[in-house]
Structure formats: C-alpha cells, structure tokens
Structure 1
C-alpha cells in the first residue's frame, strides 16, 4: 500500500483544517509503527485507512446511502461494505466504479467494492448521521430534577 497523503484545501473551513491535522497526527503514528513493528504495520495502516473511509463515507456516496451502509473491512484488495438492506447494496454496486475512482484519487489505493446486505450493523457515530441527530436535539428534552445529583456536581466543581 502507498503511504497516505493528507489533502489540505486552501479554502477549507477551520474545523475541516483541524480535522485534517488530526488525520496527519494519526498518520504519523502509523509511520512510527511501520519502523518499530514492521510486522504489524500493514494491519494498522488498513485500520487507519478504514477509519478515514468511514469518516469520509458520506462524501464518497450519497447521504442516504451513507446512513444505510458502512465500510467494514478489507479482504485482500477488496473493500467489504455492509448495507442494512438489499436495496442499498444494489445501489452501492451500481455506483461502485465511481466510488472506487474517488477512493483512488483521495487515498492512492486501488480497491474493489463488495456490497453485502446484512441485518446487523454496528453503527458508530458517523458524520452522515450527525445532521439528523442535531435536528432531533432541537426538540427540548424534559428536565429531570435530582437534588442529590446537583449537589454532587456542585461538590465536584468546588474541588477544581
């Protein structure tokens, strides 16, 4: 695998630049591990690439497809993507060529996408779902009145 190169855009927002800097710091750990433990470097590099793909998945595919699919693991030169329904697996299979080209442009690796429909997907917090969560958070939640918890929080804050 080729080493990953971060892409910085001059017109990027401050949050995006901070996110790219964090990616660069994580990439440095991969490079250090490559020198110290060469036997584990390929696995760690694949995990790092997989985490970047999961983070950028909403930009590589449509928002709806990103909410119903998740890059799971690398199997040789193939990227296994789990989808929660056959419809989304078929849609991903139809646009796989363009997604593979985008992955090659962004990360410099050539991979084939295998879409697999599965019923159980562990959904970590993804950028594609954050927008939906912020809309749901706009509804005010019921305030709970717990005086014991309030006094404990006040005691902890006074210790600072």
Structure 2
C-alpha cells in the first residue's frame, strides 16, 4: 500500500527530496556586478523563481515553458536580471526534461564545481547576478560541437525574439 501512495505523488517526493538537500550545497562567496539584498530578490521574483534562482532549486522535469520551445532566432536571458545568456540556435533537444544548450554567450555564465548529492557536476550561474541556472554535463554523446549539455531551468530564463546589443 505504501509503495502505491509514493508512486502517486512523484512531484511532491521530488520537491521534498530536492529542497531538503539543496540547503547542504556549498554556497560560494563570489561577488557579482548586480548585488541585491535577499529581501529585494524576494519582492522581484515569484516564489518558484526565487526558490530556483536564489536558493539553487530545480524545477520539475518537463514542467518548464522552454523545455519544448525551439525558436530559430533570439536570445534567452536571465529571468532575474535580464543578462543575455544563450542564443536560440544553441538550444537542442536532449529529452532530459529541461531546456538544453550546447554553449553560452561568452562571459555570461560562471561555472562552479558542485559535488552535492554525491555526484560531480558543474553548476552554471549568471555572471551578472549570480542566479542559479542549472548544471553543465560533458561527454554525453550528443551531436553538438562542444560535447556539453547546459541543462537549464526554464524558470531561470526569459526569451527575447531579437538579440540586443545593449549588454
């Protein structure tokens, strides 16, 4: 009976597991150009954005608005600070449940080694505000030029149809 109950609430299981252990992740002491107090971020971001971007959470697989969106032109930006991050033509189908990109715009993300959950990964954060975007995985065999998959939370992104040159 218990097994049936647990299978009926996978989203709750995932959210509880992830939230419980995410607080154990090492925080970095890096400074970013856009530095705001936590209270200000709470006011500007909706609760899910705040949980993912500021508290290093993860949205549920397949739940994001950009998971199955493949625009030909434009740019994905940080949902928190609007920093340009990824060109639309670097997004590819990975079937992983989150938007996947094979490369970021130069200098727009920082890579941080992350050994949480007993695995070696590379966290990717916005270089302007330090917001958590997702993780980078290498050597998975996707037919992309960099042999990398930037697995990014949709809630960490916004999309602009036209690239802008203001950043």
Q: Tell me the TM-score normalised to structure 1 length.
A: 0.29
Q: Comparing both structures, which one devotes a greater share of its residues to helix? A: 1
Q: Comparing both structures, which one devotes a greater share of its residues to strand? A: 2
Structure with larger RCO (C-alpha < 8 A, sep 6+): 2
Q: Tell me the TM-score normalised to structure 2 length.
A: 0.28
